[in-house]
Structure 1
Amino acid sequence: MTRPILRYASLGSGSSGNALVIEARCAGQTTRLLLDCGFSTKETEKRLARLELTGSDIDALLVTHEHDDHIGGVARFARRFGTPIYMSRGTYLSVLEHMHSCRGLDVFFCADHKPFELGVVQVNPYTVPHDAREPLQFTFKCQDLHLGVITDVGHITPAVVASLQNCHGLVIEYNYDAAMMAASTKYPPKLKQRIIGDYGHLDNQVAQALLLQLIHPNLHHVHAAHISQNNNDVTRVQQLLEEALSAQGIPFALACQNQGFDWFEVT
């Protein structure tokens, strides 16, 4: 019997746009999902081409929340390729109030801790604290392979930790360095407060504490994502990942804004 395959790649990660491709193969069937689409359709197609994919290869779009760097390209992409969209009802209602209208598209609602199937993938939405109307993050399973994603979260709750237990691959937000943020002159005080607040983003130390709670013998690789280009240091993020993972021999990498990262297989 052919073993199942679950792999993922980033088209880009950061405040200028986010998109993550999840691909699963099982029993002769392939399912490809796009988690968020914060790029124009043209740019998304260009980035998919790096993975030898086209927009027509995407079976469904999943949306975490209504912020532009995650949803900005969703409606146009869906219209062009006829792709169904999955989001929370709160995200949809917020979208209707802004420019990214999804009227006339195939939109399906998902909700906290209500798993559903997309092809050979089981999708598990879970709620996170973020300054959006009904934000969700997701984990993905193909048989016994398990990928967890956590970005755009202001603080860590027991439900977040529980949702990400026993993942074989993890994508975790290391958004900002607290000292760099405090010293920044580029961001006005109101924006700083939004980012560092309980419904903003994770700083390096909180992300590191979360990762340490999630390490287990079958964790095979970790990606740091949504790294601020203005208020973080990739060298410091790399050092933190080394401190957490090197003793266990767990590989890791950093997602960047322009290139994301190439395919990684969950094993």
Structure 2
Amino acid sequence: MRFSVLASGSSGNAIFVENDEHSFLIDAGLSGKKMDGLFASIDRSMKNLTGILVTHEHSDHIKGLGVVARKYNVPIYANAKTWMAMDSQLGTLPLDQKFHFDMETTKSFGSINIQSFSVSHDAADPMFYVFEENGRKLSLITDTGYVSDRMKGHISGSDAYVFESNHDVSMLQMGRYPWSVKRRILSDVGHVSNEDAAIAMSEVMEEKPTRIYLSHLSKDNNMKDLARMSVTQTLRSCGIIAGEYVDLYDTDAETPTELVPV
């Protein structure tokens, strides 16, 4: 099983996961043209996708979904409330491309098992995914205001994480956003800060080689170097030294990460 974070941030999100038999796109939050370019960057094509898994209906996660699904005739998977919330935004899609992936369930595609789990975000019914194959585990968790014990139970012991590290609290508090937006981001249905993300990481990691991709960084309220430094320092305070068995990686709004094995 291999994966690449194609794009991550408030301007658009997409993640690619594959094995030798199946390939999946998680969200399509950029235009169809940009999505084609991102796939070309990792030497892949969307015409070979097994399916697109949707996390929630916000535009930075579904902007290109309808275009991509129609162009490549790709099945789309989402839960019922998300379908209701996003259907009108996608344009006309045939019924044979619309599939339900219920919350807290597992679907199997050959040797890959994909488990959905709910998160806390201001969307209709947001959920993220855990991929497992042959004892290897990849967990995707962004767009959540906090990481509950239930969420930790789903993602614990993963070999790789795409983990939200959205904002620096001080930058957000001092920044230009209206107070109503700041309050939403800081709320239980907003986004996880660098420090809170690191605390949650420390509680789900096992002492084995682990890759963590810091994702969904705010363009206005965070920076890659700051996120990495904050997470590193907070992990250290929890007794975990980055570089020993856990490695931190950046993600980008426009440039995919290297396609790597889990």
TM-score interval w.r.t. the shorter chain? over 0.9
Identity across the alignment (%): 26
Match for residue 213 of structure 1 among 197, 203, 215: 203
- C-alpha distance 64-102 of structure 1, shift in aligned 2 (>3 A): farther
Distance in 1 between residues matched to 2:116 and 2:209, nearest whole Å:
20
Q: Deviations over 1:128-178 (max 9, x none)?
A: 110000111100011211100100001121111101111111110000010
- C-alpha distance 124-252 of structure 1, shift in aligned 2 (>3 A): same
Ranges in structure 1 where 5+ consecutive residues have no aligned partner = 1-5
Distance in 2 between residues matched to 1:33 and 1:260, nearest whole Å:
15
Opposite residue 207 of structure 1, the aligned amino acid is: A
Q: Deviations over 1:169-213 (max 9, x none)?
A: 11100000100000001x122221211111010011110111111
Does residue 76 (structure 1) correspond to residue 67 (structure 2)? The answer is: yes
Does residue 175 (structure 1) correspond to residue 170 (structure 2)? The answer is: no
Aligned to 2:114, the other structure's residue is in SS state strand
Opposite residue 203 of structure 1, the aligned amino acid is: S
Answer with 162-171 or 115-124: which moved more: 115-124
Does residue 87 (structure 1) correspond to residue 78 (structure 2)? The answer is: yes
Q: Structure 1 residue 102: deviation in Å?
A: 5.5
TM-score by length of 1: 0.91
Distance in 1 between residues matched to 2:71 and 2:110, nearest whole Å:
21
TM-score by length of 2: 0.93
Ranges in structure 2 where 5+ consecutive residues have no aligned partner = 236-240
Q: How many residues align?
A: 255
Question: In the alignment, is the contact (CA less than 8 A) between 1:24 and 1:142 conserved in 2?
Answer: no
Question: In the alignment, is the contact (CA less than 8 A) between 2:160 and 2:212 conserved in 1?
Answer: yes
Question: In the alignment, is the contact (CA less than 8 A) between 1:95 and 1:101 conserved in 2?
Answer: no
Q: Structure 1 residue 67: deviation in Å?
A: 0.1
Distance in 2 between residues matched to 1:95 and 1:102, nearest whole Å:
12
Does residue 262 (structure 1) correspond to residue 258 (structure 2)? The answer is: yes
Does residue 24 (structure 1) correspond to residue 24 (structure 2)? The answer is: no
Question: In the alignment, is the contact (CA less than 8 A) between 1:166 and 1:219 conserved in 2?
Answer: no
Question: In the alignment, is the contact (CA less than 8 A) between 1:20 and 1:34 conserved in 2?
Answer: yes
- C-alpha distance 247-253 of structure 1, shift in aligned 2 (>3 A): closer
Equivalence for 1:39: 30
Question: In the alignment, is the contact (CA less than 8 A) between 1:130 and 1:201 conserved in 2?
Answer: yes
Aligned pairs (5 A) from 1:60-139: 60-96=51-87, 98-101=88-91, 103-105=93-95, 106-139=97-130
Question: In the alignment, is the contact (CA less than 8 A) between 1:167 and 1:219 conserved in 2?
Answer: no
Q: Structure 1 residue 58: deviation in Å?
A: 1.5
Distance in 2 between residues matched to 1:89 and 1:102, nearest whole Å:
17
Distance in 2 between residues matched to 1:179 and 1:240, nearest whole Å:
12
- C-alpha distance 191-149 of structure 1, shift in aligned 2 (>3 A): same
Q: Structure 1 residue 219: deviation in Å?
A: 4.0
Aligned to 2:44, the other structure's residue is in SS state coil
Equivalence for 1:251: 247
